[in-house]
Chain A
Amino acid sequence: MKPISTAGGPAQPPGRLRVQIDSKAFRSADGAATEVLRDIDFTLEPETFTCLIGPSGCGKTTTLRIILGLDRDFTGQVERAPQRPRMAAVFQEPRLLPWRTVEQNVRLALPAQEKKPQETPAGAPNLDALFGALGLQEMRERFPAELSLGLERRVALARAFAVMPDILLLDEPFVSLDEHTADRLRALLIELWQARRTTVLMVTHNVREAARLADRLLLMNGRPARLVGDVTVPVARSQRGGETLRHFLAELAAAHPETILA
């Protein structure tokens, strides 16, 4: 059973996100403004997994930073439901506090009143389960400098899931990992997401990765960047190994060559 929100109307799980960026420009040192985003407009429904795809440097991370509230210098608006949803992010770098242990890093991200592992609804992971699922049980007392990059990224994932976010944003969380490690972490991400449904928006330039993980792909390209495609992945998640997925990717590449093949 999912928790049911009592705020009027039909039961609506939290984590709806409406993003409307009319324009976003960066000002360079000499004062010239470069517009990087224009007319980015999309809505994420609760508990969906969406990937934002586009070539490197096209403004995906900027979009994410705007959603996270880290960049407020743009025209447009971001509507979140509820007003202040619990958000979590996995950045491109793990961004752990090097002077705190793995466990402290995760616990510090928890809201103040939930520092202890608590009863959680519908079998969502408490910290033991979470550390176990990510293979971090033995690492809890280690400092980040003692971990490999792959392990640090797992800690960053653990931290993001520990807060049980309504909205989870991931910014190329698996870059610069070897393919084997990246694959294992992708599988873990899906496992965690299925255990504790949350709205996920993941930025990536890896189309295969996106097609494997997401319900829906948002394609971004151009200068300034706009949304050039909004595609629902038509393949059931369990069948995304072989020919069907390859077929879908080929179709996608044919429809959006400049974004997919970039």
Chain B
Amino acid sequence: MAAGPEASHRVPLRLLSILAFLALWAGAAALADSPEVPGPLAVAAFVAAEAASGELFYHLAVTLARVAAAFLIAMGVGTAIGMLMGQHRDLNRLLDPWVILMINMPALVVIVLCYIWIGLTEAAAITAVALNKIPNVVVTLREGARALDPKLMEMAAVFRFSRARLLRHVILPQLFPFIAAAGRSGLALIWKIVLVVELLGRSNGVGFQIHLYFQLFDVAAILGYALAFVSVMLLIEFVVVQPLETHLNRWRPGPATRPA
């Protein structure tokens, strides 16, 4: 949508970069000449066959649903806790050690413990992923809550803004850059963890498929699934995230309007 003069001459460069990558890959595959290093064509053929059978879309959809659920839970819970910790110093002192503990807990440990304690269920899978992401959201949003402008809060107090109005028109717009930052890094982190969760304890989804093809040593399939899912995430970035960001930043004068 935002097609400035820069955007138009950025496109060929990007295209060139992608073509160069494919050429490099094809060359390396030709040199290796082994089923363990399939070329782009072999991977594309697998993706096409898997798409035709419907398998690809089923597993993509399952994984995407898990990503979405974990993402929404992590963002919601993390934002709420982060805001409270940013605004109440005592609560921050109380919860800070827990946040540090959780942020340093290996993802694998959280996943395994969730499966053991909750069982091999969907709830356990999503809880595990959300728990891995929540501390990051908390830390980012805590900074956001600390940066809230007291002058605007006073203005809102004088004019007796209701709680809802305060949240929607005064607080959330100030937190938006922090929510966006947490969301950006969150989406990438979450889908990677979702794959691990699927590999360890689910019987469908991209992670499960990769596990399956790992046992078969089918590298074309592994790369096919990975690339298919990366494409989906890119699509979300361009179709949802960037237009949304442009809309929410429309009041900013100058270069900040451009999606980063």
A interface residues, Cβ below 8 angstroms from B: 68-70, 87-89, 91, 93, 95, 97-100, 104, 108-109, 111-112, 143-146, 159, 163
Chain B hits for A91, CB < 8 A: 151, 154-155
- Other contacts beyond A68-B154, A91-B151, A93-B151: 5, CB < 8 A: A70-B154, A99-B173, A104-B169, A108-B161, A111-B160
Contact for B251 among A109, A145, A159, CB less than 8 A: A145
**Chain A residues closer than 8 Å to B162, beta-carbon distance:** 112
Asked if A108 contacts B152 (CB within 8 A), the reply is no
Q: Which of chain B's residues have a CB closer than 8 A to the CB of A98?
A: 251-252
30 contacts between A and B (CB under 8 A): A68-B154, A68-B158, A69-B157, A69-B158, A70-B154, A70-B157, A87-B158, A88-B158, A89-B158, A91-B151, A91-B154, A93-B151, A95-B152, A97-B152, A98-B251, A99-B248, A99-B251, A100-B169, A100-B173, A108-B159, A108-B161, A108-B165, A108-B169, A112-B165, A143-B250, A143-B253, A144-B251, A145-B251, A146-B253, A163-B159
B157 x A145 contact (CB < 8 A): no
B148 at the interface (CB under 8 A from A): no
Residues 145-173 of chain B: 1 if any A CB is under 8 Å from the residue's CB, otherwise 0?
00000011011011111100100011001
A95 lies within 8 A of B251 (CB): no
Specify which chain A residues have a CB less than 8 angstroms from the CB of B170 in the assembled complex.
Answer: 97
Bound Cα distance from A111 to B157, whole angstroms: 12
Report the bound CA distance from A91 to B150 in whole Å. Answer: 13
- Residues 118-167 (chain B) with a chain A CB within 8 angstroms: 151-152, 154-155, 157-162, 165
Nearest A residue (CB) for B176: A99
A95 to B159 Cα, complex, angstroms? 12
**Do residues B253 and A97 form an inter-chain contact, with CB atoms below 8 A?**
no
Set of chain B residues within 8 Å of A87, measured between Cβ atoms: 158
Select one of B160, B248, B252 contacting A145, CB under 8 A.
B252
| Cβ A97 vs Cβ B158 within 8 A | no
Q: CA A134 – CA B165 in complex, angstroms?
A: 26
Decide: A88 and B159 in contact? CB cutoff 8 A: yes
Chain A residue at minimum C-beta to C-beta distance from B173: A99
A99 CB contacts on chain B under 8 angstroms: 173, 248, 251
Contacts of B151 in A (CB 8 A): 91, 93, 95
B151 shortest CB reach to chain A, Å: 5
User: Given the complex, which residues of A lie within 8 Å of B152, measured CB to CB?
Assistant: 95, 97
CB distance from B233 to the nearest CB of A (A): 28
Of B157, B251, B252, chain A has the most CB atoms within 10 Å of the CB of B251
Measured CB to CB, the nearest residue on chain B to A93 is B151
Which residues from B are CB-within-8-Å of A100? 169, 173, 251
Closest B residue by C-beta to A156: B155
Cα–Cα distance between A95 and B158 once the two chains are bound (Å): 12
Q: With A93-B151, A109-B159, A112-B162 given, is the CB distance from A143 to B251 under 8 Å? A: yes
User: Nearest chain-A residue to B169 (Cβ)?
Assistant: A108
* B155 contact from A95, A104, A111, Cβ within 8 A: A95
Q: How far is the CB of A22 from chain B (nearest CB, A)?
A: 24
How far in angstroms is the closest Cβ of chain B from A200? Answer: 15
Chain A hits for B248, CB < 8 A: 99
Shortest Cβ distance from A169 into B: residue: B158
CA gap between A89 and B154 in the complex, in Å: 10
CA distance A68 to B253 in the complex (A): 32
- Minimum CB–CB distance from A74 to chain B (whole Å) comes to 16
Smallest beta-carbon distance A127→chain B, Å: 15
C-alpha spacing A188/B165, complex, angstroms: 30
Q: How far is the CB of B229 from chain A (nearest CB, A)?
A: 34
A70 to B160, CA, bound (A): 12
How far in angstroms is the closest Cβ of chain A from B248?
8
Give complex CA distance A163, B157 in Å: 14
- A97/B252 contact (C-beta < 8 A), A68-B158, A89-B158, A91-B151 known: no
Contacts of A93 in B (CB 8 A): 151
Shortest A79–chain B CB gap in Å is: 18
Contacts of A70 in B (CB 8 A): 154, 157-158
